[in-house]
Structure 1
Amino acid sequence: MRRVSDLAISDYGMISDCRSAALVSRGGSIDWLCVPRFDSPSLFGRLLDGDAGHWSIRPEGEASSSRKYWKGALVLETTFRTSKGVLVLEDVMAIDLKSDHHTLRTDAPRAILRRLRCEDGEVPIAASFCPRPEFGLVTPLLRKAPGGIVGTGGSELFFLSSDVPCEVDRSVATGRFVLKRGERTSFALQWASSWEAAPGPLDQEEIDGLFDEAVESWLDWARQHQAYQGPWKDLVDRSGQILEGLTFRPTGAVIAAATTSLPERVGGVRNWDYRYSWIRDASLTLQALWVAACPTEAHRYFEFLAGSALSQIGDGAQMQIMYGVGGEHDLSEREVPRLSGWRGSRPVRVGNAAWNQLQLDVYGEILGAAWILRDQHDVLNPLNRQFLVRAVDAAASRWKERDNGIWELRGEPRHFLYSKLMCWSALDRGVAMAEAIGAEDQVPRWERVREEIGAAILEEGWSEKAGAFTQSFGSDALDASTLRIPSVGLLPASDPRMRSTIEAIATHLVDRRGLVYRYRAEDGLPGDEGTFLLCTFWLAQAWALAGQLDRAREVFELAAGYVNDLGLLAEEVDPETEELLGNFPQAFSHIGLINAAWAISSLEKAQREGRPMVVPDWT
């Protein structure tokens, strides 16, 4: 009988080296780490199964804990208080940026750095190092070596540097020691592929040096790039740092989340792998990066998406909706039956079968991303211009098709309104950029198709019964994605039909607290899911665009109230228990927070200045 992880999702914090990420529990255990990339197999996987590996450092016996990130940096500090003293644990992943603040040094070490210090009293400490490569399939061989412990097994080599005496029992290393007030010690876990040179020991001075380099890299990045000034600045800045931490720096890809298979309902089957990069998220992600991180990151993300999708546009090819962080196309899904899942939520999945779905909204997302970055050097280079023209043409020719929609429903394809809306957006941006992309001769045709799509949405997407725009043509089912209509620019939020849609969603597509569901219609899967934080932030943003400041702030603060003590959000909230659900930390939720805060800030500024709110020109 395998042990099941039962910690709350909110009990975890993330550290990142912009290549991979680790989740650290409030009890000092690293229970999730995939190396060498975000989408690699896990080395520590206790998050999904009690026997899938961990690395724990904590006081022995009873202890309370509090934690925080260092301001401006993804450095996690956990303070333990016991009856015998106070212990501080600091966690960071080694990272060293080049002087341009955007590129990783190629010789930067791959390592997790952990520092301990006793601030008061005398604290007995227990450490447990239990790596289990390949999602727990491999039981490695550990052995003592000068300066620490060597591990071999599967495709990875690793070295745990420590001056703490440890006992090794084949695949588990344990240590018990005491720190007194003023004493400190450090640990470093390095890894390498089996064909590379094995990492060697690091002494305490070297670990401290790498730790300081990582801190300075994060702080320097924050100083250079985080300039947002507005309400909820701390949350917006933290969200920008999380997006940076979810960026695979070698390519610029932004992943949807650091985890796979954290469920949308406890014990349910809606457990997906989110460690990939979605075109669906493109324009929203770029807006958030622009506000809370850095335009250069936005540029590199666009280049990654365009480069990955370039070969799939034209000649009838279907643009893929997501890619691996290196630009890989085949993300075939499989189940990992040996893993029990978080709180028994099976199956655990690796890969994502939605990679080969048809989603027509991708054309609007990629054109929206290009529109945001249109003034940046080299975004509209000859190859990208050709790619964008083909994307607009594909939207024009395919918009009448059925697809699986933004939410990747696994039932029968439908005429989803959001897909039509984003095809409209692709044509709208294509017309606006026609001269820049060398397509002036296409403008009359693109304008004609754009008007045709807009008319179809306004007629076939509207339900008198629902008093709202709905999920798909001819349906009465509400869908939160229709809140994007004013953000995209088809109708202003002040339009009576749009105002009625916002009211309908705020009344009928929410739980008892006011958090928004994506939809409540049949979707081809058993069970149901929690409320969706991104959609709740969309509602806040829609109220802001409609000029309703109080309602916008109320909804924003409701959704933002579900950040954990570190400012992190998962994908959803359980309607009964109010626990965070879904993969974590979730880029989409943080993107929604940033963009809604920006919209509310813009409305507040406009009202202070006695003028109408100006919708940004990226819409």
Structure 2
Amino acid sequence: MEIYGRLKKIEDVYSENYIKIENHGVIFNNKTAALVGMDGTIDWACLPNFDSEPLFDSILDADRGGYFSIRPNRSGLMVNQYYEELTNILVTEFYDENGIIVRITDFLPASEYATINMPEIHRFIEPFEDNIKITIKIKPSFNYGKIKPSVEHNKNGYIFRSLNKTVGVSSNFNFRQDGDTIYGTFQMKRTGYNWIVVSTGITHINNILEYKSIERLNETRKYWKAWSNKLNYEGIYGKYVLRSALTLKGLFYDPTGMMVAAPTTSLPESIGGDRNWDYRFTWIRDTAYVIEALSLIGLNGEATKFIYDIMYKINKQKAIKTIYEINDESILKEKVLDYSGYRNSRPVRIGNKASGQFQLDQYGSIINAIYHFSLADGVITTQLWDFVLGILEKLEVIWKYPDSSIWEFRTEPKHYVYSKLISWSAFHRAILMGKKLGYSAPYETWRKVEKEIKEDILKNGYNNEMECFVQSYDSKNIDASLLRLPLMDFLNIKDKRVINTIRCIESNLMTPNYLFLRYNKDDGLKSMDNPFLLLSFWYVEDLILMGRTEHAKKVLETLLSKSNHLYLFSEEINPKTGSLLGNFPQAITHLGVIRAIARLNSALKD
């Protein structure tokens, strides 16, 4: 029998009573997501929206958080997870020495209609041998464990209630109740199967058949397969491109067109440390990169909708902000929760203080996205061109200001070279784009500013003694964000200043397996930093531009092997253990996957 995915001993799924970050799959429905551990536990889910209060959150506090676990009552098991082909429908299987004994199929109902809201988690339990015992435990979370809900039971299931929230559990299982938890061990036959549906925002609990789970499953399967078949990519590492694309699509919040950077909060970038952030918001920088990636693989429809949604959001608020809420109910203000954190990594934050920062590269990132969109024959209307004019009119003034950098330093603003570089690229590429499209613009002014920024960077951002570009003006810090320098056409790839900068980053920031630390500067946080995965994919693109295609292929294959069993990536990685770290799955990393693979595919064809 063929086994998809990667079998793992169930005891290896955990670390310190937590499911390892990499040992999760994710289900999506373009409004929210849920993390499903390889042991059959949902330990993170926010319903109805990405940034709603979590329904299950034991990934942030194993003792006090909510969870929904399904597991065969047997020791010595092996586990496996995979997605149904071309979908975000997740399958978790349990094996003993004789083969599969139980399969769980998980999905969030998805539809092409953004206005349809189905805040439900459907779980299908399928036994493969007679009299198998399965233990199920369900504990919803209310206000991060602060509120104990009332629990009502009727013939259809259970309703958990607080003043502002209801959670329903519908099934044919006869659970027992212990406070705010329902549980039981049930004997199932090979010919039997059961659905369990958890829903929020309901007033009555319905019979399990009325949720029409099989119909919802077929609709969801049809939705994801139809979307996947729109991909226009034929080449190497196609399974990674497909999974990255499906993940990016899943991270969109369809009602407003915004996209979250990740569906989680406060998963640590360093175990036991304080680098724990809420990523359930829209970063202009990240989403601008995503437009580039979508355009590269033929998803111009998604890229078009997204770029115009972003324009609408910015025009409505009359400002470019670092972070945007995904809807009008979102709360950006940062707050620390009384939770122990994933593997005791405190603080646990909701909201994000970086929303108040000035990050200069956001402006140039939007222009770069529109530029790449135009290269993919995207429709640049006069309204969108007017949007470009407005951004550059402001950038003419503010490019001279210090900012908080791409890394969102919580220290004093400085003149970061990366921020200036992206500002330069905005004018450079707007000129190329506008001339090609035949649009009028103050080109002479743009050329003057473009030249001024370039001269400023060359004068203040390059350290002659170190023979490389540095993190900020007049500093001696190395910054791996400058791996993007060759990708922006700022200088010729053969220019010694470019070559020396890459070598300097390799020498000072590259760890084994081509993983890169972001910088060698004290950023004011107490815990250590770990390699940032996106940087490695930029490095692959650099190698290709330098003509080192075979080496780029070797590096890329090494990086792709760092994904989890489902080809998913987080933001960072432990270089010694290979464990994934940070919020998961991470949009910007999956963007890097698509860009690097697409560029290498083209280089190998050439």
SS in 2 for 1:343: coil
Deviation at 1:42, TM superposition (A): 0.8
Structure 2 distance, partners of 1:327, 1:595, is 32
Question: Which residue identity is paired with 1:287?
Answer: E
Once the two structures are superposed, the pairs formed by residues 336-351 of structure 1 within 5 Å of their partners are: 336=337, 338-351=338-351
Question: Which residue identity is paired with 1:71?
Answer: E
Structure 2 distance, partners of 1:437, 1:228, is 26
Q: Match for residue 560 of structure 1?
A: 560
Deviates more, 1:347-356 or 1:506-515: 506-515
Deviation at 1:169, TM superposition (A): 2.9
Structure 2 distance, partners of 1:145, 1:293, is 50
Equivalent of 1:93 in 83, 87, 108: 108
Deviation at 1:110, TM superposition (A): 2.2
Deviations 1:518-550 (A, max 9, x none): 112122222221111101111111111222112
Q: Match for residue 277 of structure 1?
A: 282
Q: Match for residue 61 of structure 2?
A: 49
Instruction: Give the TM-score normalised by structure 2.
Output: 0.92
Q: Match for residue 611 of structure 1?
A: none
Q: Match for residue 363 of structure 2?
A: 363
Deviation at 1:307, TM superposition (A): 2.0
Structure 2 distance, partners of 1:375, 1:52, is 47
Equivalent of 2:206 in 195, 200, 203: 200
Deviation at 1:329, TM superposition (A): 8.5
Q: Match for residue 100 of structure 1?
A: none
Question: Which residue identity is paired with 2:82?
Answer: K
Q: Match for residue 395 of structure 1?
A: 395
SS in 2 for 1:30: strand
Structure 1 distance, partners of 2:416, 2:331, is 25
Q: Match for residue 243 of structure 1?
A: 248
Deviations 1:116-152 (A, max 9, x none): 1112343100111100122222222222223222222
SS in 2 for 1:203: helix
Question: Which residue identity is paired with 2:104?
Answer: L
Residues 86 and 121, structure 1, Cα contact 8 Å, conserved in 2: no
SS in 1 for 2:106: strand
Once the two structures are superposed, the pairs formed by residues 386-425 of structure 1 within 5 Å of their partners are: 386-425=386-425
Deviation at 1:515, TM superposition (A): 0.7
Structure 1 distance, partners of 2:404, 2:20, is 32
Residue identity over aligned pairs, in percent, reads 32
Once the two structures are superposed, the pairs formed by residues 80-159 of structure 1 within 5 Å of their partners are: 80-82=94-96, 86-97=101-112, 103-104=113-114, 106-159=115-168
Question: Which residue identity is paired with 2:101?
Answer: V
Structure 2 distance, partners of 1:80, 1:460, is 59
Deviation at 1:339, TM superposition (A): 0.8
SS in 1 for 2:122: strand
Residues 109 and 120, structure 2, Cα contact 8 Å, conserved in 1: yes
Q: Match for residue 326 of structure 2?
A: 325
Deviations 1:537-578 (A, max 9, x none): 111111112221122112212222211111111111123333
Q: Match for residue 32 of structure 1?
A: 44
Residues 240 and 293, structure 1, Cα contact 8 Å, conserved in 2: no
Deviates more, 1:79-88 or 1:474-483: 79-88
Once the two structures are superposed, the pairs formed by residues 111-510 of structure 1 within 5 Å of their partners are: 111-192=120-201, 198=204, 200-203=206-209, 206-223=212-229, 225-292=230-297, 294-311=299-316, 319-326=320-327, 331-336=332-337, 338-374=338-374, 380-381=380-381, 383-434=383-434, 440-510=440-510
SS in 2 for 1:168: strand
Deviation at 1:379, TM superposition (A): 5.7
Question: Which residue identity is paired with 2:267?
Answer: L
Structure 2 distance, partners of 1:590, 1:364, is 21
Residues 20 and 38, structure 1, Cα contact 8 Å, conserved in 2: yes
Structure 2 distance, partners of 1:483, 1:154, is 51
SS in 1 for 2:458: helix
Q: Match for residue 10 of structure 1?
A: 22
Structure 1 distance, partners of 2:331, 2:156, is 42
Residues 257 and 585, structure 1, Cα contact 8 Å, conserved in 2: yes
Deviations 1:99-130 (A, max 9, x none): xxxx43x3352211111111234310011110
Residues 335 and 349, structure 1, Cα contact 8 Å, conserved in 2: yes
Q: Match for residue 615 of structure 1?
A: none
Q: Match for residue 12 of structure 2?
A: none
Q: Match for residue 74 of structure 2?
A: 61
Structure 1 distance, partners of 2:361, 2:272, is 31
Structure 2 distance, partners of 1:494, 1:296, is 37
Structure 2 distance, partners of 1:405, 1:382, is 31
Structure-2 change in CA distance of 1:376 and 1:484 (3 Å): closer
SS in 2 for 1:583: coil
Deviation at 1:170, TM superposition (A): 3.7
Deviation at 1:601, TM superposition (A): 0.9
Deviation at 1:486, TM superposition (A): 2.3
SS in 2 for 1:96: coil
Deviation at 1:374, TM superposition (A): 3.7
Residues 370 and 379, structure 1, Cα contact 8 Å, conserved in 2: no
Q: Which runs of 5+ in 2 are unaligned?
A: 1-14
SS in 2 for 1:390: helix
SS in 1 for 2:592: helix
Deviation at 1:94, TM superposition (A): 0.8
Structure 2 distance, partners of 1:200, 1:493, is 64
Deviation at 1:255, TM superposition (A): 1.0
Structure 1 distance, partners of 2:566, 2:465, is 43
Structure 1 distance, partners of 2:278, 2:258, is 16
Deviations 1:471-529 (A, max 9, x none): 11222222111111222221233333212222222232111333111112122222221
Structure-2 change in CA distance of 1:290 and 1:5 (3 Å): farther
Deviates more, 1:267-276 or 1:293-302: 293-302
Structure 1 distance, partners of 2:383, 2:144, is 40
Question: Which residue identity is paired with 2:536?
Answer: T
Structure 2 distance, partners of 1:52, 1:38, is 17
**Aligned positions, number:** 589
Structure 2 distance, partners of 1:328, 1:302, is 22
Q: Which runs of 5+ in 1 are unaligned?
A: 98-102, 607-619
SS in 2 for 1:440: coil
Structure-2 change in CA distance of 1:311 and 1:218 (3 Å): closer
Q: Match for residue 609 of structure 1?
A: none
Q: Match for residue 3 of structure 2?
A: none
Structure 1 distance, partners of 2:555, 2:303, is 27
Structure 1 distance, partners of 2:150, 2:435, is 62
Structure 2 distance, partners of 1:335, 1:5, is 23
Deviation at 1:182, TM superposition (A): 3.0
Deviation at 1:249, TM superposition (A): 1.1
SS in 1 for 2:104: strand
Deviation at 1:360, TM superposition (A): 0.8
Structure-2 change in CA distance of 1:574 and 1:416 (3 Å): same
Structure 2 distance, partners of 1:418, 1:565, is 34
Deviation at 1:154, TM superposition (A): 4.5
Equivalent of 1:22 in 25, 34, 40: 34
Residues 172 and 208, structure 2, Cα contact 8 Å, conserved in 1: no
Deviation at 1:378, TM superposition (A): 9.4
Question: Which residue identity is paired with 2:325?
Answer: G
Residues 168 and 199, structure 2, Cα contact 8 Å, conserved in 1: yes
Question: Which residue identity is paired with 1:452?
Answer: E
